[in-house]
Amino acid sequence: MNGVRIGIVGAGFIGNMHAQLLAEIPRAAVTAIYDTQLDRAQALARKVEAEAASSLTALLERVDAVYITAPNRTHPDIALAALDRGCHVFCEKPMAVSLEAARAMLEASEQSDRVFQVGHNRRFAPVYRKVKELINTDRFRPHSAHIKMNRGELLDPPWVGQPDVTGGFLYETTIHMLDMVRWLFGDVTSVMVAGSAHEYGEVDDFSMLLTFASGMHATLASSADASWFFPFERIEIFAHHATIETQEMVGVTYTEGLDSRLTTFSFHHLSREDQWGYRSEDEAFIRSILDGAPVTVSTWDGYKAVELVEACYRSLRTGERIPLDV
Ligand SMILES: NC(=O)c1ccc[n+]([C@@H]2O[C@H](COP(=O)([O-])OP(=O)(O)OC[C@H]3O[C@@H](n4cnc5c(N)ncnc54)[C@H](O)[C@@H]3O)[C@@H](O)[C@H]2O)c1
């Protein structure tokens, strides 16, 4: 075939999502699936007309690029093996669950000429693209922001409640917003974090205060056992007589000036794959491989997100405000 032969490692929820989106991209073909549970690999292989591979090595031998969609702690070993074999890599978030492993991946990708993209999909979501467009104007220079990212549970899939697999709740869920604030507001200069443990044998409820090199500051609340009350994810941004507010991945409302006019952009009509940016991130990965387009979410971005999570956990442990290098 012409185009990119892709292998999927981990045939669960997000592996299925990517495989089915990739199957719709003309210049890509999912050709192999590997999962430690063979029946899962076989089921997905049937859906996208690929072959189930008997091992990671067998998969890497027959593809040009690999999607790492297995649980968090497995990502570094699979990514390093794939780069070693000369494959392009798409690695789901979090890139790694320790700074040491993230640094090894960053260095390996810098020494390689292969494309390495990290799955911070929200950067491709139309809601957040609209926010980025709005705050890049002279009319809207943010002073501060108020952010929440909640979950109803850490039960599904079962490993999301096991910190030895996830690296901790911040790695599993909140890392999406920690990457998002860097993308929207620039480098974070410090974090101060309070937290408490309730349901899941780990700290599962966090209140954070972030400062930025731009002079901005933000609060971020993130609870693992709040509820699925909509929107469970929201950013409010405040500027001179102006406010932007997001609703999940479906809408952005903003107002400028002191009168009561509001402008709303709605993405209700889009599919979930498009609202959440999954289709666009997959298309971007293929463009980077075949057309040399710049990598949209790099290993540096993946590393900086891991660094932020680590700084948050350190602040929680020590009770101190943790400065970050810019
Ligand atoms: N970007 C997003 O919005 C998003 C959404 C969901 C999940 N994720 C990430 O994707 C990854 C997978 O999450 P999920 O919800 O699809 O989990 P899942 O449990 O549904 O699927 C994971 C699959 O990986 C398989 N697996 C486990 N260890 C493996 C290994 N060493 N090699 C190959 N396969 C292995 C499991 O058998 C399972 O089928 C996680 O890192 C998660 O954080 C990202």
Task: Tell whether the model's pLDDT for residue 168 goes beyond 90.
Answer: yes
Any ligand 1 atom below 6 A from CB of 93: yes
Cα–Cα distance measured from residue 127 to residue 311, given in angstroms and rounded to the nearest whole number: 28
Ligand 1 probe mutation, 8, 16, 35, 279, most atoms within 8 A of CB: 35
User: What pLDDT, in 10s, does the model give residues 12-48?
Assistant: 999 999 999 999 999 999 999 999 999 999 999 999 9
290 and 318 share one domain:
no
- CA-nearest of 37, 33, 26, 34 to 4 is 26
Q: Which residues contact 319 (CB under 8 A, 6 or more apart)?
A: none
Residue 88 and residue 116 in contact, taking contact as beta carbons nearer than 8 Å: yes
101 and 132 share one domain:
no
Quick one: average pLDDT of 191-197? 97
**H-helix or E-strand spanning residue 236:** strand 233-239
Of the pLDDT bands very low, low, confident and very high (cuts 50, 70, 90), residue 299 is very high
User: What pLDDT, in 10s, does the model give residues 77-118?
Assistant: 999 999 999 999 999 999 999 999 999 999 999 999 999 999
Any ligand 1 atom below 6 A from CB of 74: yes
Any ligand 1 atom below 6 A from CB of 40: yes
User: What pLDDT, in 10s, does the model give residues 228-245?
Assistant: 999 999 999 999 999 999
Angle at 260 between CA 258 and CA 263, to 5 degrees: 105
Ligand 1 probe mutation, 33, 92, 278, most atoms within 8 A of CB: 92
Task: Tell me the helix, strand and coil percentages in the chain, rounded to 5.
Answer: 40, 25, 35
φ and ψ at residue 321, rounded to 5 degrees:
-80, 130
78 and 183 share one domain:
no
- Position 16 scores a pLDDT of 98
How many domains are there within the chain?
2
Any ligand 1 atom below 6 A from CB of 69: yes
Q: How far is the CA of 182 from the centre of ligand 1 (A)?
A: 25
Shortest-distance atom of ligand 1 to CA 72: 41
Q: Which domain holds residue 63?
A: 4-122+278-297
Quick one: average pLDDT of 294-305? 98
Shortest-distance atom of ligand 1 to CA 158: 19
- Position 2 scores a pLDDT of 67
Q: How far is the CA of 293 from the centre of ligand 1 (A)?
A: 27
Burial of 49 (0-12, 13-18, 19+ CB in 10 A): exposed
109 and 156 share one domain:
no
Nearest CA to ligand 1 atom 28: 70
52 and 187 share one domain:
no
165 and 69 share one domain:
no
28 and 96 share one domain:
yes
215 and 117 share one domain:
no
Torsion, Cα 108 27 5 48, to 10 degrees, reads: 120
- CATH number for the domain that contains residue 37: 3.40.50.720
Q: How far is the CA of 12 from the centre of ligand 1 (A)?
A: 6
User: What pLDDT, in 10s, does the model give residues 252-292?
Assistant: 999 988 987 999 999 999 999 999 999 999 999 999 999 99
Of the pLDDT bands very low, low, confident and very high (cuts 50, 70, 90), residue 1 is low
Any ligand 1 atom below 6 A from CB of 10: yes
- CA-nearest of 174, 80, 46, 184 to 128 is 184
Any ligand 1 atom below 6 A from CB of 204: no
- CATH number for the domain that contains residue 238: 3.30.360.10
Any ligand 1 atom below 6 A from CB of 14: yes
265 and 284 share one domain:
no
Residue 309 and residue 315 in contact, taking contact as beta carbons nearer than 8 Å: no
User: What pLDDT, in 10s, does the model give residues 210-225?
Assistant: 999 999 999 999 999 9
Quick one: average pLDDT of 130-146? 93
Of the pLDDT bands very low, low, confident and very high (cuts 50, 70, 90), residue 139 is confident
Cα–Cα distance measured from residue 204 to residue 231, given in angstroms and rounded to the nearest whole number: 19
319 and 213 share one domain:
yes
Cα–Cα distance measured from residue 133 to residue 274, given in angstroms and rounded to the nearest whole number: 18
Of the pLDDT bands very low, low, confident and very high (cuts 50, 70, 90), residue 137 is confident
25 and 63 share one domain:
yes
Burial of 301 (0-12, 13-18, 19+ CB in 10 A): buried
106 and 152 share one domain:
no
Say what the pTM is: 0.97
Mean pLDDT, rounded, of the chain: 97
- Position 138 scores a pLDDT of 83
- Position 136 scores a pLDDT of 79
